[in-house]
Structure 1
């Protein structure tokens, strides 16, 4: 671990023979860059700016150059929280807050943030491995009532015509959560995965692949059932590698996919989002029991790993 700067902000740099990761404690504790030295490839989507603007609490996510790996917590959509009806900001609280550096490690760092509105403390230890990145989370409920939350990693990845996503075999149906989409239809529309038919053009579409940037659309969907296996992969055949996400499906039982074909901010990127809740809105998720809960004065622990794999 060493100190440095990244796009004008103070950074913690984790580096070994194979990989380099850049952490920005003041910008939501985000992992801003994940660079594969051997492939000479940046996995994380980079905002095309020389200076990253610093968000403030409650900022709108899309106004602050979305890029890299941000934690979304305690919800994703802006809206009321079931514990006290106080507003959860857009994409949650913690991505726009300053995280305190709690402990420095040889190959990692522990960061911590405390909500000014809700009764929780979120801590994470980011460790650079020989073949990837491990993040260990600890969410503590400091209140006297159960605390509902959605956590998801918003990891915006670079993509091109070679990009493909892979998921467990039983992930064979999706639910669209975009308000309206030319191919997937209205919010709540269900489709088989990976092959479906466009609602608009009636053409066959492979949802595991990406449309060109010229499509100018956005897709976000959840797989319809709880996960029985805790993994998903982003495959880049052009560099003969994949980014493999692994996690405990008992802790993180849902999976969403976000694909931005130039339709949001003009960017071209995508995100695989394992999640502790469904449909992004923590108030709704709590109503339908698709959400994680921490008992009063207790804590939840979970581990999320990213591994760089060579394709066979």
Structure 2
């Protein structure tokens, strides 16, 4: 098996991939730079969720409801996750980059790196992500954000990885996480800012075992941990010993979003979402919770995510 860059057509879209000795990653530049596949080569497990039907990938346009998108794999959310109005700008659902085509750097591909960039339509940002293979076989996602505007710009960046849930899956998070602040959900009454104990907010309900309280067929919850001292989070499996670990510098990315969906829209997936600010709305993060990053005019911010498949 050859390692490095490879190409594939998936659901009719041109994709570019990276293969290490541990895993295979596949990205579609045309669809917001979405990473649509992340397969562990040891077990063959596909870690990323998508609908189990033909035609599970399609294009979207500015202003589309994210719920009507493929919602497949890993999206990037910037400068907000929830739609909001900020500084007179109408910011779309899940940000400005997931529905746009990204420009690939052919010279980087020749070096074995998937580097792509996108210019935002509403906010004065240029966003870049370069994916490479580390010496240990993991994937490194290196980011750069540049402010082309003339004033300071608050923003939220959030990784948005939807991982499929298999029998035996459970979360492993840093010991410092003993509560989460909620941003929404279905199943029990939730107000934004409510605090739940982690991992067991209610007797017999274990969030680390991907359980959500409530009755019915559509249960979900979104909450946040942090600010953190330790930037990592894992999904492991009791039955197979497979695991995926995401790690980052908590001094740069201080928060972790936790999304658990047990039936909303007929889906079952979990999202471990490193993020620079909380909650999902930039307007609320900047104006109310005061938990947001800011980039100065002409400034370039950089950060890194590491993804390990074991």
TM-score relative to the length of structure 1: 0.91
Aligned mates of 1:68, 1:179 — CA distance in 2 = 21
Aligned mates of 1:179, 1:194 — CA distance in 2 = 16
In the alignment, does 2:230 pair up with 1:229?
Answer: yes
Please, which of 119, 129, 132 is the counterpart of residue 124 of structure 1?
129
- Paired residue for 1:14? 18
**CA spacing shift, 1:156–1:124, aligned 2, 3 Å:** same
SS in 2 for 1:208: helix
- Paired residue for 2:220? 218
- Paired residue for 1:273? 273
**Structure 1 unaligned regions, length at least 5:** 198-202
Q: Is the 8 A contact 1:58 1:96 kept in 2?
A: no
| Count of aligned pairs between the two proteins | 299
1:215 CA displacement: 4.4
Please, which of 44, 50, 53 is the counterpart of residue 46 of structure 1?
50
Aligned mates of 1:16, 1:185 — CA distance in 2 = 42
Q: Is the 8 A contact 1:21 1:128 kept in 2?
A: no
Aligned mates of 1:106, 1:34 — CA distance in 2 = 21
- Paired residue for 1:98? 101
Please, which of 4, 8, 11 is the counterpart of residue 8 of structure 2?
4
Aligned mates of 1:139, 1:222 — CA distance in 2 = 23
- Paired residue for 2:250? 249
Q: Is the 8 A contact 1:161 1:210 kept in 2?
A: no
SS in 1 for 2:30: coil
1:179 CA displacement: 5.6
Q: Pairwise CA RMSD of aligned residues?
A: 1.8
1:106 CA displacement: 4.1
Q: Residues 202-217 of structure 1 correspond to what in structure 2 (within 5 A)?
A: 203-211=203-211, 215-217=217-219
Q: Is the 8 A contact 1:22 1:31 kept in 2?
A: yes
Q: Is the 8 A contact 1:174 1:191 kept in 2?
A: yes
**Structure 2 unaligned regions, length at least 5:** none
1:85 CA displacement: 1.7
Q: Which runs of 4+ in 1 moved over 4 A?
A: 212-215
Q: Is the 8 A contact 1:180 1:187 kept in 2?
A: no
Q: Is the 8 A contact 1:60 1:90 kept in 2?
A: yes
- Paired residue for 2:36? 32
Q: Residues 73-222 of structure 1 correspond to what in structure 2 (within 5 A)?
A: 73-81=78-86, 84-102=87-105, 103-129=108-134, 130-178=136-184, 181-182=187-188, 185-197=190-202, 203-211=203-211, 215-222=217-224
Cα deviation digits, residues 223-276 of structure 1 (max 9, x gap): 2x300111111112222021111101111001110011012x211111001110
Cα deviation digits, residues 192-223 of structure 1 (max 9, x gap): 111222xxxxx431111123997421111112
* More deviation, 240-249/127-136: 127-136
Aligned mates of 1:230, 1:160 — CA distance in 2 = 24
TM-score relative to the length of structure 2: 0.91
SS in 2 for 1:186: coil
SS in 2 for 1:96: coil
Aligned mates of 1:64, 1:166 — CA distance in 2 = 29
